[in-house]
């Protein structure tokens, strides 16, 4: 690195021993009267550039020399002559000179929109001195700079060069299109520029027709300069007109605005524009719109209905720029249409718009919950999803809760995360011959719904888990013995005890002899 230090050591031996000196080119670095014998160390500090140094050994037998090369490695210099050679609406092509005599590994291009507060974006690993950057916004100013990279690291950036991308047709329609009647045959239309003009707006085209279903190419057209309002005359009185507005640049036309309808009757309000709907809660949707310009609105009339129903609801309310529709069903798609009324009559209804209420928790539990005892330790639980109109959203999982109130483990347990498409689940590891209470509930993303009514079942019987208790025996006579016992603990019986087996054998000298005998004792005879 520039500014570094290094020591060069030169050693020479012989008979007689030689004197040793250092030279840089023709310049002697060791004074003649200070030349050491056999060994000379050259101390170099604050090195700024590469150079060759020569060690010379001198004796009465002659002179020999050796050269040491010092190479200074540094970060690359900034590239030079950065220029923009080509632009399109979404790309810029840059060229530059390396500005370095030493090899360059690659280049890094940094760029950003001039009006942006964000930092530079980077294109790394550029191997040439020409590069095209794509994905830019049309008709926007950008700043570009380039850095060179070598095996030491990244050098300083070049000077910034600025460029504006080319124009493109607008990618969004004019905003807030409104209209009102100046007379029964003359209409005033006004609007705001598009959000994404992609260039300099050269003018606007206002399309209008009495036949909404006709292609836009067949509508009448009224061209304007880049002003934001115009008047259209010669309209038919008492007729509903549909209006759409688009902007254009030198490249072409942008998309048209949504349809706005106006009735050619003086004093009747125009159709509300920028009509939008947004779900706020699972039972409420907020409607907003732009007030018609200078129209004397006395009331608004709203019609709304479920998307899959013909049952329309009509609401009238005082002038405002928004209205909250309450009491709706969760997770349901609704349609809305709005019109303004003045003392002269009712304006044109908007085209229906749609919005879906937010999801909620299910209002009904899973249906038809059934239990089947598969074994003494397992139960199969099956169910049907809640009714569609009670789900209030997509079912994402089920939970099965179970409890044995009279079992050894009487705690309530839950199995969560059962897949949404599941209709059954097997509970395992249960207590034998034990009554269980089971219920199921469904979940949406919002949370769980109510539990199903408790369903009860007992696990299957199994062999007793413990022997009879307090077994006693006493001799009745020389050929009979009475055996007495108590049943196993109730928790270990694992079913209904139906009988016992008495096993006995002869003892000789305290040891059993022969095969044991088995006697089955039915329950009524057991004592």
| 365-412 pLDDT per residue, tens | 999 999 999 999 999 999 999 999 899 999 999 999 999 998 889 999
CA distances from 472 to 62, 148, 465, 502 (A): 125, 101, 20, 12
Q: Give the span between the Cα atoms of 303 and 140, in whole angstroms.
A: 44
User: Is the pLDDT assigned to residue 526 strictly greater than 50?
Assistant: no
Here the tokens at position 388 are: 């569609």
Q: Please give the structure tokens belonging to residue 168.
A: 């493109």
Residue 44 φ/ψ, nearest 5 degrees: -110, 130
Strand partners of residue 161? 144
Residues contacting 527, CB < 8 A, separation 6+: 484, 485
Specify the range with the lowest mean pLDDT, choosing from 137-146, 418-427, 483-492, 516-525. 516-525
CA distances in angstroms from 318 to 303, 321, 342, listed in the order given: 15, 10, 11
Phi, psi of 457 (to 5 degrees): -160, 155
Angle at 102 between CA 97 and CA 106, to 5 degrees: 60
Is this prediction's pTM over 0.75?
A: no
- pLDDT interval class at 291 (50, 70, 90): confident
- Say yes or no to pLDDT of 179 above 50: yes
pLDDT band at 505 (very low <50, low <70, confident <90, very high): confident
Contact 501, 519 (CB under 8 A): yes
How far is the C-alpha of 519 from the C-alpha of 527, rounded, in Å? Answer: 14
Please write the tens of the pLDDT for every residue from 190-199: 999 999 999 9
> Which has the closest alpha carbon to 197: 225, 169, 224?
169
pLDDT digits (tens, 9 = 90+) for 312-323: 999 999 999 999
Q: Is the peptide bond before 16 cis (omega within 30 degrees of 0)?
A: yes
Q: What are the CA-CA distances from residue 140 to residues 111, 116, 251 (Å)?
A: 12, 11, 15
Which domains are seen in the chain, by residue range? 4-70 (2.60.40.10), 80-164 (2.60.40.10), 175-263 (2.60.40.10), 273-356 (2.60.40.10), 367-458 (2.60.40.10), 469-525 (no CATH)
* C-beta separation of 185 from 233 below 8 A: yes
pLDDT single digits (tens) 13-38:
988 899 899 998 888 888 888 889 88
Compute the residue count for the chain: 527
> What is the tens place of the pLDDT at every residue in 53-70?
999 999 988 899 999 988
d(Cα 256, Cα 275) in Å, to the nearest integer?
16
E strand map for 79-218: 80-87, 92-97, 106-113, 121-126, 130-133, 141-149, 161-164, 175-181, 187-192, 203-209
Q: Residue 217: how many CA atoms within 13 Å on its side-chain side?
A: 0
Terminal-to-terminal C-alpha distance of the chain: 105
Handedness of CA 475, 477, 480, 485 (dihedral sign): negative
């Amino acid at each position: 690195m520039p500014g570094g230090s290094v020591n060069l050591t030169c050693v020479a031996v012989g008979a007689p021993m030689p004197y040793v000196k250092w030279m840089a080119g023709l310049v002697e670095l060791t004074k003649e009267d200070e030349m050491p014998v056999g060994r000379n160390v050259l101390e170099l500090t604050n090195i700024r550039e590469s150079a060759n140094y020569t060690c010379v050994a001198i004796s009465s037998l002659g002179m020999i020399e050796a050269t040491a090369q010092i190479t200074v490695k540094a970060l690359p210099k900034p590239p030079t002559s950065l220029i923009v050679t080509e632009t399109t609406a979404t790309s810029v092509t840059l060229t530059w000179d390396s500005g370095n005599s030493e090899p360059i590994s690659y280049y890094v291009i940094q760029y950003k929109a001039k009006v942006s507060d964000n930092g530079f974006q980077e294109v790394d690993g550029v191997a040439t001195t020409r590069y095209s950057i794509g994905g830019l916004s049309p008709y926007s100013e950008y700043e570009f700079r380039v850095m060179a990279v070598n095996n030491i690291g990244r050098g300083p950036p070049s000077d910034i060069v600025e460029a504006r991308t080319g124009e493109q047709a607008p990618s969004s329609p004019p905003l807030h299109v409104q209209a009102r009647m100046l007379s029964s045959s003359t209409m005033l239309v006004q609007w705001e520029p598009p959000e994404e003009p992609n260039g300099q707006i050269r003018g606007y085209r206002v399309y209008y027709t009495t036949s909404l279903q006709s292609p836009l190419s067949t509508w009448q057209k009224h061209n304007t300069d880049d002003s934001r309002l115009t008047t259209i005359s010669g309209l038919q009185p008492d007729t509903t007109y549909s209006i759409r507005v688009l902007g254009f640049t030198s490249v072409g036309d942008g998309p048209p605005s949504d349809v706005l309808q106006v009735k050619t009757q003086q004093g009747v309000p125009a159709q509300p524009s920028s009509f939008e709907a947004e779900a706020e809660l699972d039972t409420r949707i907020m409607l907003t719109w732009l007030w018609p310009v200078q129209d004397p609105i006395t009331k608004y009339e709203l019609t709304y209905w479920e998307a899959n129903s013909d049952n329309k609801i009509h609401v009238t309310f005082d002038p405002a720029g928004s209205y909250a529709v309450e009491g709706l069903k969760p997770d349901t798609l609704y349609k809305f249409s709005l019109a303004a009324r003045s003392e002269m009559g009712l304006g044109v209804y908007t085209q229906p718009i749609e919005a879906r209420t937010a999801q909620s928790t299910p209002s009904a539990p899973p249906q038809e919950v059934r239990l089947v005892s598969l074994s003494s330790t397992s139960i199969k639980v099956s169910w049907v999803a809640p009714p569609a109109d009670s789900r209030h959203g997509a079912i994402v999982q089920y939970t099965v809760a179970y409890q044995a109130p009279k079992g050894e483990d009487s705690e309530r347990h839950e199995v969560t995360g059962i897949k949404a498409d599941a209709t059954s689940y097997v509970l395992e590891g249960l207590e034998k011959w034990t009554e269980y209470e089971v219920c199921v509930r469904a979940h949406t993303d919002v949370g769980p719904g109510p539990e199903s009514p408790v369903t009860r079942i007992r696990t299957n019987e199994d062999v007793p888990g413990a022997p009879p208790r307090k077994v006693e025996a006493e001799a009745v006579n020389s050929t009979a013995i009475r055996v007495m016992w108590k049943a196993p603990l109730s928790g270990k019986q694992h079913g209904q005890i139906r009988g016992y087996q008495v096993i006995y054998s002869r003892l000789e000298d305290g040891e059993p002899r022969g095969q044991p005998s088995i006697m089955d004792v039915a329950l009524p005879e057991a004592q």
